Structure 1
Amino acid sequence: MEGMKPRLATPPLPTFRGRLHDARTATSIGRWLGLALAVCFVTGVTSHYLQRPPDWLADILPSRPTWGYRFSQGLHVASGLAAIPLLMAKLWAVYPRLFVRPPLRSVRHALERLSVAALVAAGVFQLFTGLLNIVEWYPWPFSFVPVHFAVAWLLAGALLLHIAVKWRDISSHWGRRSPGTLTLPAEDEPDRRSLLTGVGAGVAAVTLTTVGQSFTPLKRLDLLAPRHPDHGTQGLPVNRTAAAAGVTAATTLDWRLTVTGPRSYAPSLAELRALPQTDVRLPIACVEGWSVEALWSGVRVRDLLERAGASPRSRVRVVSLERRGAYRVMEMGASHTEDPSTLLALRLNGRVLSLDHGFPARIIAPNRPGVLQTKWVVGLEVL
């Protein structure tokens, strides 16, 4: 009809002619991605239960080895960061299959598509929210810890479902002598090796430039991590400053520690300094991945409990001067309160604690997340 605008042609669906978008490439990358996600999941669950143990577990969580949490959380963050380039490479290898037509061909194909959708969504969400967490940027309205923990189980389930549905294809392309690899063009193998070498180099670069924040022998290579183990007051990084916690020098004037038990008492800072002092070398390990060992000096928590007439194996509630924050009050189980290395620390690396590191007193305990090493302690309550 005269005057009518011509109808625009529908753009064609994307076509993919890359010769390495194949099952062999996807399987080669997928096995390393699966390993990284498995390590990240196990260490993440470990970290969660160390931070928020159920009541039946609180008194039996081990306090040894002293470096246990430092190792597991450093491995958690390192494997999560390594998984990001692996996930990108895996998506590159398989994305042509996301546009196949018809979208659903059978029950098995529907399960496969469901597993892929859940796996991709959970994987991207988990890795990138974890990345933002280690730089302490939270541009979302939900609480990070419970959501991150819940999606970790969703990701693990989606990964197991995907492996079960695709096991026939995975086993056919697992190794060079697998039956399915014989059908792939031999001329693609040099390009595939180059691609996998490049992916491996990318993973190695990400790992080497970030793992130094927890593995201090490599701290000189710590170029991309948000924390350096040597940067901070008194030789330690600081995540939460006194200003952020609402603690000032004025708040600590006339400070006394209240120890509540069968024989409650309230020693001043001078009286605590007059008690027998213990020196321990312990790492402080943050959930964001950085950790560093330091020399701590103070009074053993078990000695403070005994003076209050309580058993050294008592569970204790620790209260901070901090005005706000999810960890203003924390509980410490029996295995940690009785450990001779668990201190109410008054000094760090030979000097009085700075305000940012918890002056007048803070908790330091072995094999324990940094968020539970409470700063600005004002009370110990025997439970």
Structure 2
Amino acid sequence: MREGTFSSALHDPRTAVVLGRWLGAALLTCFLTGLFSHLVQESPAWLPSRPVNGYRVTQGLHVISGIAAVPLLVAKLWTVYPKLFEWPPVRSVLHALERLGIAVLVAAMLLELLTGLFNTLQWYPWPFPFRQTHFWLGWLATGGLLLHVAAKLPQIRTHWRRARRAARNTGTTGTTGTGPVEPQRRAFLTAVAASVGLVTLTTAGQSVPWLRSLDLFAPRRPDLGPQGLPVNRTAAQAGTTTLPADWRLEVGGPHPVRLSLDELARLPQYEAELPIACVEGWSASARWGGVRIRDLLALAGVPAGTALRITSLELDGPYRVTELPAEHARDPLTLLALRVNGEVLAPDHGYPARIIAPNRPGVLQTKWVTRIEVG
């Protein structure tokens, strides 16, 4: 590497440590909320039905922290990239292993954030399944990050505090030939923080209602779509545009029943204000009306505390059949929804009937329901 090739004083450990703190916080938040999201998409029995906005908050935070991590990762890589051009490239076996670990860490982080961003757009230009790949990349990136922190811990401890304290510990002056380092660092870090704030403010509105007016660059607007709600999977995509003439809701149990739409309409009707919160990060609240699931179970002689299997009319797809845990089944807010915001469900929102339950991912709020049975 030629002398002076990387002349900026900001290619230094102190700047890298500060950015690493910010990036580490964003990635850890993204990993933990993403792990939670992955687990709850399996309808675990331990997931409570309250608070009703629980998944909306955790998944919104997952996408917000993932998007915020992008400019932080770019800034961090800019700060440390001269290390990639050190000569000789490998000085020992230990040094080779360290560089290999950094290469794996950077690749995993870039792929994790890139695939996550593409998922918010519902664009999958790759042959592998997104959900499983994203899950394991998350573990790989987090594990690599923890190993990297362990390897660099002495340097991190030295430069954790302000530069003038670090200078006393290392014997450096904290200045370059072009002027003091610390003012340059403050300006650079301020610019990075401002870019992260700008990206967050202009995208978080897809899940944070009070930021909706600033939602300029998020992939989705939660107030746009049929009946004022977005749609991920349309009736045309699901093959449910034509309702069978003999459609009946089948409720299995000791006394199974088959109910037409008219018969469902004659049952006691309830309303609930609940959000649809999707894994892509957007969420929107609506007023849903219909029949309580626990009332349907009572008609079929099924005990209220019973886990259920919900089957959709859609022809295929990973969520054609879903599980409804016992706690959600007995919750009075869990409905077989027939209406949204006072209108009969549009086909894209699940006509003739769909599940709506509190604290549940949108992919599990099954549309075009045709059968409910004991799970």
TM bucket (normalised to shorter chain) is: over 0.9
Q: Specify the code of the residue in structure 1 equivalent to 2:309.
A: R
Q: Specify the code of the residue in structure 1 equivalent to 2:353.
A: A
- Report what 1:7 is aligned to: none
- Report what 1:6 is aligned to: none
- Residues 1:16 and 2:3 aligned together: no
Q: How does 1:1-383 map to 2 (within 5 A)?
A: 15-53=5-43, 58-176=44-162, 177-178=165-166, 179-180=168-169, 183=172, 185-186=174-175, 187-248=180-241, 250-383=242-375
1:60, distance to aligned residue in structure 2 (A)? 2.2
Whether the aligned pair in 2 keeps the contact of 1:211 and 1:225 (CA below 8 Å) is yes
1:149, distance to aligned residue in structure 2 (A)? 0.5
Q: Specify the code of the residue in structure 2 equivalent to 1:158.
A: G
1:107, distance to aligned residue in structure 2 (A)? 5.0
1:68, distance to aligned residue in structure 2 (A)? 0.3
SS at match of 2:243: helix
Would the alpha carbon gap of residues 304 and 357 (structure 1) be closer, same or farther in structure 2, given more than 3 Å must change? Answer: same
Q: Specify the code of the residue in structure 1 equivalent to 2:19.
A: I
Q: Specify the code of the residue in structure 1 equivalent to 2:172.
A: T
Would the alpha carbon gap of residues 65 and 12 (structure 1) be closer, same or farther in structure 2, given more than 3 Å must change? Answer: same
Q: Specify the code of the residue in structure 2 equivalent to 1:312.
A: A
Please list every run of 5 or more consecutive structure 1 residues that lacks an aligned counterpart in the other structure. Answer: 1-10
CA RMSD, aligned part only? 1.7
Question: Residue deviations 1:76-100, cap 9 Å, x none?
Answer: 0000000000000000000000121
Identity %: 59
1:18, distance to aligned residue in structure 2 (A)? 2.0
Q: Specify the code of the residue in structure 2 equivalent to 1:242.
A: A
1:103, distance to aligned residue in structure 2 (A)? 2.3
* Equivalent pairs, count: 368
Q: Could you tell me how far apart the structure 1 residues matched to 2:193 and 2:206 are?
A: 21
Q: Could you tell me how far apart the structure 1 residues matched to 2:140 and 2:173 are?
A: 34
Whether the aligned pair in 2 keeps the contact of 1:320 and 1:377 (CA below 8 Å) is yes
Length-normalised TM-score, structure 2: 0.95
Whether the aligned pair in 2 keeps the contact of 1:327 and 1:374 (CA below 8 Å) is yes
- Report what 1:5 is aligned to: none
1:46, distance to aligned residue in structure 2 (A)? 0.5
Whether the aligned pair in 2 keeps the contact of 1:112 and 1:166 (CA below 8 Å) is no
Question: Residue deviations 1:148-197, cap 9 Å, x none?
Answer: 00111111100100000000111111111245576252311111111111
Whether the aligned pair in 2 keeps the contact of 1:208 and 1:222 (CA below 8 Å) is yes
1:109, distance to aligned residue in structure 2 (A)? 2.8
SS at match of 1:220: helix
Q: Could you tell me how far apart the structure 2 residues matched to 1:254 and 1:204 are?
A: 54
SS at match of 2:152: helix
SS at match of 1:150: helix
SS at match of 2:189: helix
Whether the aligned pair in 2 keeps the contact of 1:346 and 1:360 (CA below 8 Å) is yes
Q: List structure 1 runs of 4+ shifted beyond 6 angstroms.
A: 11-14
1:117, distance to aligned residue in structure 2 (A)? 1.2
1:254, distance to aligned residue in structure 2 (A)? 2.8
Whether the aligned pair in 2 keeps the contact of 1:227 and 1:290 (CA below 8 Å) is yes
SS at match of 1:251: coil
Length-normalised TM-score, structure 1: 0.93
